[in-house]
Chains A and B, each alone.
Chain A
Amino acid sequence: MGWFKRSKQNISPDSQKREMPDGQWVKCSQCDEIIHNKQLEMNHWVCHKCKHHFRIGSDEYISLLLDRNSFKELDRKMKSGDPLNFVDTKNYKERINSTIKKTGLYDAVKTGTGKIDGKRVSFGCMDFKFIGGSMGSVVGEKLSRAIDKAYEDKIPMIIISQSGGARMMEAAFSLMQMAKTSSRLARLADAKIPYISVLTDPTTGGTTASYAMLGDVNIAEPKALIGFAGPRVIRETIGKDLPEGFQKSEFLEDHGFVDFIVERKDLKEKISTMIDYLT
């Protein structure tokens, strides 16, 4: 099986910015401020009062970071194959199909190429609303192909992570996606092609313990939860409450695992500048 094979129908036309339905108001989960959707969008989905960064999806990141109409999606319809016929309280196939219907996404990552200030990049963006942004075979394969695209075309790789970790319903297959994506990043690094990792809220488990932590530069959004084990598990292990700010972006920066934290409004400019330094 070739790595780079793809079928034409999987390439979608240029991305379209998703329109929020008008007349909707949301409440900021941090300061209770009531904000109009339009206003929120104008402010990059950041609360104008307390700067809380609302969790947004891949379409929003694409519209925020990539030049208008520059995104060309790859492998759009790649879908999980349910290798284990996994059944817990629900059957995994049904879970997948209902999530596809609900979200309009086929899995927890969108990949493709696009431009940042005119510079071509290979781009992957995860989406928490698809089964908690969990990484299974599809996420691993799509990201691997995107990394290979960066390798072949000699363009920078950008991955926006937003994930609860590996997807349990694909068990060992999910685990192996960590090895698969990391090995592709190693090849990319050997070719001296830059990889910028952006960590957003939340980035935990197997996602953090593979590609999210492997950037030449790791960038985080403010106050994002970033870690390996979840806070609940750690609390139960040590039998104590966790210190304020534990596993937040600022904590990670403080301990040396994130290069810098950037507000969403400046994210594109910082990535763009970083690409200039690394190319």
Chain B
Amino acid sequence: MKNMLEFEKPIIDLESKIDEMRKYEDNLDIREEIEKLESKVIKLKRNIYENLTRWQRVQLARHPERPYTLDYIYMMGEKFIELHGDRAYKDDKAIVGGFLKLGHHKVMVIGQQKGRDTKSNLYRNFGMANPEGYRKALRLMKLAEKFSKPVITLIDTPGAFPGLEAEQNGQAEAIARNLFEMSRLKVPIVVVIIGEGASGGALGLGVGDRILMLQNTWYSVISPESCSSILWRSWDYKEQAAEALKLTAEDLLEFGIIDRIIPEPLGGAHRDHTFMAKTLKKALIEELDSLIKIKSDKLVQNRLEKFAKMGVYEE
């Protein structure tokens, strides 16, 4: 595996040893030995992946071989038609969206898109959207509303782009407008954090009726690195910052900020794209089946109440 995280090393070493032994399987009687090692790998995996620190989760969420938005779109659905542009300024490549057939549902799916290599990452701006990206997303949501189609958003971003043009074109206004309009959109919205959910850049697609997180993803107000640099005045405290921020799916489910965790294959979504996409598709169809039964006024009311409950204070 070319992209190996440090804590995965013992597993990958053992796996390559097994692969090596397989080559001699026909000549030597080592089948038993291989089986022993295989069960050892499973145990080792369980042991490692069930005891990940929060920082290790962040690393998994950023794993460069994880499925990205377009991977999910093509694996989960059919007849995707991508729609481009905000009708005012530009087409932001960091956010993709369009109509998709998802099982028996016809939906509008929108999400941040990361690249796989330097070239595609530059094209996608590393999944960091500009204002025109948020405005494109809103245009597509309004289109879905007009034709009574549910919206699915897939969130995977290290943040909204902090650039000069982004500021000039109203990054803050674009995100604020999305929060405002998504909160009163008259069709169901299902939000899924599929990788990184960093701050306002994530929330700009994140207001919905059901908020799901894949098991090895993170969602918070700031990345652990930036948090470290601001509060500790050094980049070296990212592990502590990740712990302090309590940014994993389990944390957020406990806080009542998200509704559901979608389990990943052992070792992370990148280990089995097909299985991951199948699991997510099943969950999305379940959520849509129940949400489409709710009348739009009630849906909007419930959404308002859902976010109203978030916050902890003493009176």
Binding site for B on A (CB under 8 A): 1, 3, 6-7, 10, 75, 77-84, 86-89, 136-138, 140-141, 144, 166-168, 170-180, 182-187, 189-190, 205-206, 208-214, 226-229, 233-234, 237-238, 240, 242-243, 246-247, 251, 255-257
Contact assessment for B162 and A171 in the assembled complex, using a CB-CB cutoff below 8 Å: no
Contact assessment for B255 and A172 in the assembled complex, using a CB-CB cutoff below 8 Å: yes
* Distance to closest chain A CB from B150 (angstroms): 19
Binding site for A on B (CB under 8 A): 160-164, 166-173, 175-177, 179-181, 183-184, 199-200, 203-204, 206-207, 219-222, 227, 230-232, 240-241, 244-247, 251-252, 255, 257, 303-304, 307-315
Contact assessment for B308 and A178 in the assembled complex, using a CB-CB cutoff below 8 Å: no
Contacts of A189 in B (CB 8 A): 180
Give Cα A18 to B308, complex, Å: 33
Q: Which residue of B lies closest to A141 (CB)?
A: B311
Q: Which 7 A-B pairs have the closest CB atoms?
A: A229-B162, A183-B183, A137-B311, A182-B179, A81-B312, A83-B312, A208-B172
Contacts of A184 in B (CB 8 A): 304, 308
Q: Which residue of A lies closest to B160 (CB)?
A: A228
* Distance to closest chain B CB from A73 (angstroms): 14
Contacts of A243 in B (CB 8 A): 164
Give Cα A251 to B244, complex, Å: 37
Contact assessment for A183 and B303 in the assembled complex, using a CB-CB cutoff below 8 Å: yes
Among A180, A211, A212, A247, which residue has its beta carbon within 8 angstroms of that of B311? A180
A–B Cβ pairs within 8 angstroms, 7 of them: A75-B315, A140-B310, A166-B222, A183-B179, A183-B308, A187-B184, A246-B164
Give Cα A84 to B257, complex, Å: 13
Give Cα A189 to B221, complex, Å: 27
Contact assessment for A183 and B257 in the assembled complex, using a CB-CB cutoff below 8 Å: no
Contact assessment for B200 and A179 in the assembled complex, using a CB-CB cutoff below 8 Å: no
Contact assessment for A228 and B303 in the assembled complex, using a CB-CB cutoff below 8 Å: no
Given contacts A173-B255, A206-B221, contact A79 B177 (CB under 8 A): no
Contact assessment for B199 and A175 in the assembled complex, using a CB-CB cutoff below 8 Å: yes
* Distance to closest chain B CB from A213 (angstroms): 4
Among B167, B179, B230, B255, which residue has its beta carbon within 8 angstroms of that of A228? B167
